[in-house]
């Protein structure tokens, strides 16, 4: 499966259930997914084995020009805008100029759409980099991933470096002091002859413990929605997701289920 890829630096705006009218920023190549994770459910498909010379990221200036042009166009048409959202074909924070681009986006937001929020969709895998962490903290909506309760399931689902441990990610998420949103995709299936299931009681108990430590503003819960690069994965029913959400609510944390 090739996956769904965004073919522009700035895309949309689109109507988002979570964010309202959202204008997306893709800091990754338009023809390749580039990510430090390789999740079995990722709508962008698998990471490709490509030479670094083939990976062309948009420059900071490219992003600034593309975003300003789109904001001017929208402003002239009288379009509404609720969010400027870092998303795209992989993990936004892998861009070497991510921190500087965050500065530019905030300045442009303040210039053209003061009431719009700045938003990041991230796997939280690079929060050990203080420059990345401090830049993300400047954004209004930090939507950060936590897909498992144990290292085994974390690596089965998210397929990142074995050096990345779930407890380290949780410790970094706690540095936001509650000013963040946790996003979790629940899934079951078989991948490479191993059972994948982050809905088991062991996983849920550990995951709920981490949620309790992180104390996010709220938790977003999802099933798979589009075709996945790995086969034999099951979409979890809304009924089951609602049961998980109730357990989060018992921690005193708001939860939203999307399907």
pLDDT over 70 percentage in the chain: 97
CA distance 149 to 200: 10
74, 67, 71: which is closest to 101 by C-alpha? 67
How far apart, in whole angstroms, are the C-alpha atoms of residue 11 and residue 23? 6
Binning pLDDT at 50, 70 and 90, where does residue 3 land?
Answer: low
Is residue 240 predicted with pLDDT exceeding 50? Answer: yes
Reply yes or no on whether the pLDDT at 256 is more than 90: yes
Query: At a CB cut-off of 8 Å and minimum separation 6, what does 14 contact?
Result: 21, 22, 24
The pLDDT assigned to 44 comes to: 85
Asked whether the predicted pLDDT for residue 223 surpasses 90, the reply is yes
- Tracing tokens 């509650």 back to the chain, one arrives at 178
Where does 40-140 show beta strands of DSSP type E? Answer: 83-87, 117-122
In the chain the domains, ranked by start, together with CATH numbers, are: 1-145 (no CATH), 148-259 (3.20.20.70)
Percent residues over pLDDT 90 in the chain = 81
Mean pLDDT of the chain, nearest integer: 93
21-50 tens-digit pLDDT: 999 999 998 888 889 999 999 888 888 765
Q: Give backbone dihedrals phi and psi of 204, rounded to 5 degrees, phi first.
A: -65, -40
As a whole number, mean pLDDT of residues 61-86 equals 97
> Is the per-residue pLDDT at 53 higher than 50?
no
Question: 52 falls in which pLDDT band (50, 70, 90)?
Answer: low
Q: For 142, left (φ over 0), alpha (ψ -120 to 50), or beta?
A: beta
Query: Would residue 252 be called left, alpha or beta, if left means φ above 0 and alpha means ψ between -120 and 50 degrees?
Result: left
Average pLDDT over residues 230-238: 92
For residue range 121-152, list pLDDT tens digits in order. Answer: 999 999 999 999 999 999 999 999 999 999 99
C-alpha 141/C-alpha 117 separation (Å) is 7
> What pLDDT does 227 receive?
82
């Amino acid at each position: 499966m090739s996956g769904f890829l965004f073919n522009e630096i700035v895309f949309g705006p689109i109507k988002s259930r979570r964010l309202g009218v959202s204008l997306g920023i893709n800091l990754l190549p338009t023809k390749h997914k580039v990510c430090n994770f390789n999740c079995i459910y990722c709508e962008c498909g698998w990471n490709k084995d490509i030479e670094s010379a083939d990976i062309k990221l948009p420059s900071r200036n490219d992003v600034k020009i593309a975003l300003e042009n789109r904001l001017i166009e929208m402003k002239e048409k009288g379009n509404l805008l609720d969010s400027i959202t870092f998303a795209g074909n992989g993990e936004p924070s892998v861009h070497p100029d991510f921190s500087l681009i965050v500065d530019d986006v905030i300045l442009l937001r303040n210039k053209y759409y003061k009431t719009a929020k700045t938003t990041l969709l991230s796997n939280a895998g690079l929060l050990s980099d203080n420059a990345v962490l401090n830049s993300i903290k400047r954004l209004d909506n930090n939507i950060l991933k936590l897909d498992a309760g144990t290292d085994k399931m974390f690596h089965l689902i998210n397929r990142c470096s074995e050096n990345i441990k779930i407890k380290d990610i949780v410790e970094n998420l706690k540095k936001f002091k509650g000013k963040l949103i946790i996003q979790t995709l629940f899934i079951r299936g078989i991948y490479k002859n191993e059972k994948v299931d982050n809905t088991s009681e062991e996983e849920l108990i550990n995951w709920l413990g981490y949620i309790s430590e992180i104390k996010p503003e709220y938790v977003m819960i999802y099933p798979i929605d589009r075709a996945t690069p790995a086969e034999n994965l099951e979409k979890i029913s809304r009924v089951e997701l609602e049961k998980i959400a109730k357990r989060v609510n018992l921690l005193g944390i708001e939860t939203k289920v999307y399907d």
